[in-house]
Amino acid sequence: MLEKMTIPTSPNGYAQLAADVLARAKACGATEADIVVADGETFSVQVRVGSVDRLTKAREKRLGLRVFIGKRSATTSTSDFSRASLDRLVADTCTLAGAVVEDTVSGLPDAAQMASEQPDLDLYDETVLDTDTQIDWAKRGEAAAFATDSRVTNSEGAEFDSSSGRVVLANSHGFMGAYKSSNFSLSVSPIAVDSATGAMQRDAWYQVQRKFARLASAESIGQEAARRAIRRLGARKVATKRVPVVFDQETAGSLLANLCSAVSGYGLYKRASFLLDQLGQTIASDLMTIYDDGRMVGGFGSRPFDGEGLATRKNTIVERGVLKSYLLDTYSGKKLGLPSTGNASRSVGESPSVGPTNFYLVPGVKSQQEIIGSIQEGLFVTELIGFGINMVTGDYSRGACGFWIENGELAYPVEEITIAGNLKQMLKDIDVVGSDLVFRGRIASPTVKICEMMVAGN
Amino acid sequence: MPEPVQLTTFGVTELEAQHALDRVKVRDVEYADLYFESRTSESVSMEEGIVKRAAKSVSQGVGVRATAGEKTGFAYSDELTKRDLEIAADTARYIANSPKGNSSVPVPTQRRPTRDLYPIERAKAEVATAERVALLNEIDAEARRYDPRIKNVMASFNTEYKVVVVATSDGTLVSDIQPLSRLQITCIAEDQDNRQVGSFGGGGRVAFTYYREDNRHLSYAREAAREAILNLSAVDAPAGVMPVVLAGGWPGILLHEAIGHGLEADFNRKKTSAFSSLIGKRVASDVCTIVDDGTLPFRRGSLNMDDEGTPTGCTTLIEKGILRGYITDKLNARLMGIPLTGNGRRENYQSVVLPRMTNTFMLAGESDPQDIIRSVKKGLYAVSFGGGQVDITNGKFVFSASEAYLIEDGQITKPVKGATLIGNGPEILTKVSMVGHDLKLDNGIGTCGKDGQSVPVGVGLPTIKVDEITVGGTQR
């Protein structure tokens, strides 16, 4: 059996470590500084065609330091926590900061703004699974996909992952925050074969939960994955034409992610977003109300404080189509003359950027079936591929697959087509929002329908 | 030739490495390796005319891997003590059915590197931050000088210095030092309400001096500015099937997406690739010969050895239209009984080895590029691309143009807005009817993602004509 790896340093140890490094940065000439320490362990098992394909187990730790010397700043990171390494890190950071240009708006948030309370958002599950249990989950998920239909003849495999970690953030204002989180996930990727043509189709289904006990059965995931692969068999191209387009929850989530980037502070002040100067303006259909809620209990994007130590909160981003708030951290907020919205996101070795917490579109009343049922001829999109999105102009052109809708029914699967438009118009052209909101990640959307887009095929 | 890097650089003795390999290589384990890596990354970036950001990151660790049949056991650690190596070894060998009964591992002997494709002294790769700042300042000025409608310039310079030592159960102990750098520039152009973006970049396993040779950095700045200004006058892209002429260089991303991934051995061993049963079969027209070559000096996708210690090579993937071979790592070459091509790569010590591309390109043909354009009555001429993606299993791939023009009656006319091109991998190259004599490799900007791992790669292409492909524009 594998032993559970333990991280020897206690949270208090990291608090002491963080305080020491901050003190050394100050001695080195830093006027302000903050530090992030993250550690964690991960276990991953991949099973393919009934046997274990890959087992991975690891623990990691990383420390990131950001210093300000007046209005100059630099950021560094290391995985080596030895005294010599950290001394070198502090010296390097201060030298780097001295080499860049003064940036008048740079700096930590004001001391008075730091999060004063750190609620437990129920992000952590201490369940430790043994290796055989995790292998069993992956095997059962894949076996269920094979058992669902004889046309499932191969597999990219099934993967079960469990991970847990801890983040400590401290700064020279005296702020010190910490939280733990965990994730358990299962994904299954079966391959179905069309016996007549030999053509293969792959699809996948997955689930992720912060608590192990909340996972649905492995079998239900395998069955859904198989259903999704089989329904793609016999896919064909369609003729080029303008039609209504329905996006399922996953692909609608990708549209929401595009909107999320367009209202993020860094793209806005760099003038690299298609939604410049739109605060208070109608940017989307009046069916659209979008929240970003950093305090949702057990949420995938929840955290008690953001990447700068400010309290997270629930922000209204879009209300009945009107843009009410951007997503901002302190720096991008200052550039735009606005306060932070508590959306600083922080990778250990980088200065803060902006990211969503739990960013979601409020559901409407119609089911996906009702939405499809209302369409004479159109496209139901279930997968999008490629990077054909220009965030500066909103121009949008992506590879798609899904189903052709005829007389309110899914008539046949389609592939090797593209859908194109401009996001500015697409957001306004959303004429139905579905009722089926499910959180499967930090960005979540119900099914949506866009009244018309160009579909390119034959 | 460079001096080999000693394991002691990582605070590990050869005996400890030997002990760890012995511990991993229990009876059912056919192969095991230790991958020691130390990486220093640095970046400086500018926007709004100010070099605001500088960052540096240092990481070091070991990945321990055991393979038994199709199975891989893998563990990694950022601590390199004897005890950490033992824990990682025990985890990796869990994959073997029977954890008892060690078989002996040959004592690894340090092999001297046999070549150096990127002979750069560390001192030349590492320059003072002030010099990098000066480079970015000149770029900003040059881009703004190109046209007053350039309103913002975002430029970044990234370097990485990676030292690796690979110790394997087949008796290899080998090291490499892998420098890598990249300069990337994005310009925003504004003309009243019309805002557009243009970008350009390049790099490789090169010294800092590379960027200043012949003012290369300034030519990059002008290219980024030119693309942004050009796009101010772009018209909507057409939709539907039409002939497309791809310019040389970076449009070789077509090969990477359409056939490259589909020829990685792991997908073919698992028979999940659309190319699984096509060796020896025609998958391209007879003007197409495509190789994957990891041995080109100073190139971003090149390596002296892959991440399993195998020297990289030049593998013919498609010869005059016929599919010849796959690219392999040790696991897949062994299981499939096919040659080892030196394509076993990993992003870092925290990742497993997968068969990956290096520099993938089509050899030059005989057509005059001007004749190729003249042969098209109505179609698209695509010069630069953003990213691409492929579904290995059904073969459908996309790649998105960032600079393209209409071809009307054999002449390049209006610039068009970006559009995604979509096709079917096993079919698309059968539609290549003309190949230019102007093979060009890209400038060194490619990063390939697979299974969540990113590795630097190169592509290349002469000017080619694809008789028909679906263009995902908005206009009929």
User: SS3 of A439, please?
Assistant: coil
Buried b (16+ CB within 10 A) or exposed e, B125-140: bbeebeebbebbbbbb
CATH number at residue B194: 3.30.2290.10
* pLDDT at residue B119 in the model: 84
Q: Which of A395, A415, A235, A191 is nearest to B423 (CA)?
A: A415
pLDDT of B365 higher than 50: yes
What does the pLDDT read at residue B312?
96
Residue ending a domain, choose from B232, B259, B275 = B232
Say if residue B437's pLDDT is above 70: yes
* B112 confidence band (pLDDT: 50, 70, 90): low
The crossing angle, in degrees rounded to 10, of helices B82-93 and B14-24 is 20
pLDDT value, residue B97:
63
Q: Please count the structural domains in chain B.
A: 2
Q: Which of helix, strand or coil describes residue A165?
A: strand
User: Using a CB-CB distance cutoff of 8 angstroms, which residues of chain B are in contact with residue A425?
Assistant: none
Closest partner residue to B60 (CB to CB) among A79, A232, A393 is A79
Of A48-57, B138-147, B272-281, which has the strongest mean pLDDT? B138-147
The larger pLDDT score, comparing residue A367 to residue B8, is at: A367
Task: Report the pLDDT averaged over residues B254-281.
Answer: 92
pLDDT at B292 over 70: yes
Cα distances from B452 to residues A164, A346, B347, B429, B447, in angstroms, run 19, 20, 9, 28, 12
pLDDT, residue B107, reads: 60
Identify the pLDDT of residue B158.
96
pLDDT value, residue A4: 34
pLDDT grade for A3, boundaries at 50, 70 and 90: very low
Q: A265 vs chain B: nearest CA distance in angstroms?
A: 14
Q: Give the pLDDT score at B281.
A: 95
- Residue A8 pLDDT > 60, yes or no? no
Contact B72 A53 (CB under 8 A): yes
Task: Work out the minimum CA distance from A443 to partner chain B, whole angstroms.
Answer: 19
Contact A437, A445 (CB under 8 A): yes
Tell me the average pLDDT across B314-323: 97
From chain B, pick out residues whose CB is under 8 angstroms from the CB of A201: 393-394
User: Same structural domain for residues B251 and B138?
Assistant: no
Over 50: is that where the pLDDT of A5 sits? no
On the question of pLDDT at B98 being above 70, the answer is no
Find the mean pLDDT for residues B386-394.
Answer: 90
Residue of B nearest to A77 (CA): B57
Residue B283 shares a structural domain with residue B408: yes
Which residue in A42, A395, A401 has the most chain B C-beta atoms within 10 A of its own C-beta, making it the best mutation to test that interface?
Answer: A395
Does residue B414 lie in a domain region? yes
Q: Which residue of B has its CA nearest to A155?
A: B272
Asked if residue B249 and residue B207 are part of one domain, the reply reads: no
Considering B214, B232, B250, which residue would you say is the last residue of a domain?
B232
Read out DSSP for B69-124? TTEEEEEEES--SHHHHHHHHHHHHTTSS----B-PPPPPEEPPP---SS---HHH
Measuring CA to CA, which residue among B405, B411, B461 is closest to residue B437?
B461
Using alpha carbons, select from A98, A87, A118, A99 the residue that is nearest to residue A24. Answer: A87
Give the model's confidence band at B122: pLDDT under 50 very low, under 70 low, under 90 confident, else very high.
Answer: low
**Surface-to-core class of residue A281, CB atoms within 10 Å of its CB (0-12 exposed, 13-18 middle, 19+ buried):** exposed
Helix axes B129-146, A83-99, angle to 10 degrees: 40
Same domain, B223 and B274: no
Task: Please tell me which of the candidates B59, B72, B394 has its beta carbon nearest to residue A415.
Answer: B394
Q: How far apart, in whole angstroms, are the C-alpha atoms of residue A45 and residue B118? A: 37
**Please, what is the average pLDDT of chain A?**
94
Range B388-410 average pLDDT = 93
Check residue A6 and give its pLDDT. 34
Q: Please indicate whether, in this complex, the C-beta atoms of B237 and A202 are within 8 angstroms of each other.
A: no
Nearest to A416 among B74, B271, B422 (CB): B422
Residue B130 within any structural domain of the chain: yes
Candidates B190, B237, B241; nearest CB to A458? B241
Residue B124 binned pLDDT confidence (cut-offs 50, 70, 90): low
Q: Where are the beta strands (DSSP E) in B99-253?
A: 109-110, 150-168, 172-191, 194-204, 239-246
Question: Do residues B37 and B60 touch, judged by C-beta distance below 8 A?
Answer: yes
What average pLDDT does range B26-54 have in this prediction?
91
Q: Do B72 and A397 touch (CB under 8 A)?
A: no
The conformation of residue B421, written as its DSSP 8-state character, comes to E
Are residue B227 and residue B248 in the same domain, yes or no? Answer: no
Nearest CA in chain B to A59: B77
CB within 8 Å: A458 and B239: no
**pLDDT at B111 exceeding the cut of 90:** no
Domains contained in chain A, CATH given: 11-226 (3.30.2290.10), 235-458 (no CATH)
pLDDT tens-place string over residues A357-392: 999 999 999 999 999 999 999 999 999 999 999 999
Confidence of residue B2 (pLDDT cuts 50, 70, 90): low
User: Which of A2, A101, A277, A332 should one mutate to test binding to chain B, selecting the residue with the greatest count of B CBs within 10 A?
Assistant: A101
pLDDT value of residue B83: 86
Per-residue confidence band for B106, with pLDDT thresholds at 50, 70 and 90: low
What pLDDT was estimated at residue B113? 65
Single-letter code of the amino acid located at B361:
F
Q: Do B473 and A456 touch (CB under 8 A)?
A: yes
Please compute the mean of the pLDDT values over residues A346-365 and round it to a whole number: 95
Q: Do A420 and B195 touch (CB under 8 A)?
A: no
The answer on B257 and B142 residing in a single domain is no
Same domain, B288 and B157: no
Q: For residue B115, what pLDDT band results from cuts at 50, 70 and 90?
A: confident
Same domain for B127 and B227: yes
Closest CA to B266 of B321, B344, B323, B322: B344
Specify the pLDDT at position B8. 87
In chain B, what residues touch A89 (CB-CB under 8 Å)?
Answer: 58
Contact between chains at A79 and B196 (C-beta distance less than 8 A): no
Interval A5-31 mean pLDDT = 78
Residue B25 placed within a domain: no
pLDDT score, position A58: 87
| Residue B133 identity (one-letter amino acid) | V
User: Which of B199, B214, B232 finishes a domain?
Assistant: B232
Do B188 and B246 lie in a common domain?
A: no
Instruction: Please judge whether A397 and B95 are an interchain contact, meaning their C-beta atoms are less than 8 angstroms apart.
Output: no
Contact between residue B261 and residue B395 where contact means Cβ atoms under 8 Å apart = no
Cross-chain residue pair B393–A61, CB shorter than 8 Å:
no
- Confidence at residue A124, expressed as pLDDT on a 0 to 100 scale: 96
**Residue in chain A lying closest to B423 (CA):** A416
A103-129 residue pLDDT tens: 999 999 999 999 999 999 999 999 999
B115 CA: distance to closest CA in chain A (Å):
31
Same domain, B182 and B133: yes
Domain annotation covers residue B429: yes
Distance CA B266, CA B270 (A): 6
Does the beta-carbon distance from B76 to A58 stay under 8 Å? yes
Cross-chain Cβ contact B474/A420 below 8 Å: yes
Chain A: residue whose CA lies nearest to B58: A78
Query: Which of chain A's residues have a Cβ under 8 Å away from the Cβ of B44?
Result: 100
How many CB atoms lie under 10 A from the CB of residue A45? 26
Please give the average per-residue pLDDT across A39-43, as a whole number.
93
pLDDT of residue B27: 73
The residue of B420, B428, B445, B447 whose CB has the most chain A CBs within 10 angstroms, and thus the best one to mutate to test that interface, is B420
| pLDDT value at A38 more than 60 | yes
Average pLDDT of chain B is 92
Q: Is B109 domain-assigned?
A: no
pLDDT tier for residue A422 given thresholds of 50, 70 and 90: very high
The DSSP bridge pattern shows strands A322-323 and A359-361 to be unpaired
pLDDT at B105 over 80: no
Q: Is B193 exposed, middle or buried (0-12, 13-18, 19+ CB in 10 A)?
A: exposed
Whether residue B403 lies inside any domain: the answer is yes
pLDDT score at B85:
87
**Whether residue B271 sits in one domain with residue B225:** no
Using CB atoms, which residue from A73, A388, A456 is nearest to B418?
A: A388
Domain hosting B328: range is 239-472
- Chain A CB contacts of B386 under 8 Å are 387-388
**Confidence (pLDDT) at A1:** 33
Per the domain annotation, does B67 fall within a domain?
A: no
B274/A200 Cβ within 8 A: yes
**Residue B208 distance to chain A (closest CA, Å):** 17
Of residues B94 and A266, which shows the higher confidence score?
A266
What pLDDT shows up at residue A133? 95
B370-382 pLDDT, tens digit per residue, is 999 999 999 999 9
pLDDT level of residue A2 (50, 70, 90 thresholds): very low
Report the predicted TM-score, pTM, of the whole model to 2 decimal places: 0.93
Look at the block and give the residue holding tokens 């100010």: B50
pLDDT band, very low/low/confident/very high, at B104 (cuts 50, 70, 90): low
B352 and B389 within one domain: yes
CA distance, residue B297 to nearest chain A CA (Å): 30
From A434-438, B83-87, B346-350, B471-475, the region with the lowest mean pLDDT = B83-87
Domain assignment of residue B2, yes or no: no
Please give the pLDDT value at position B90: 86
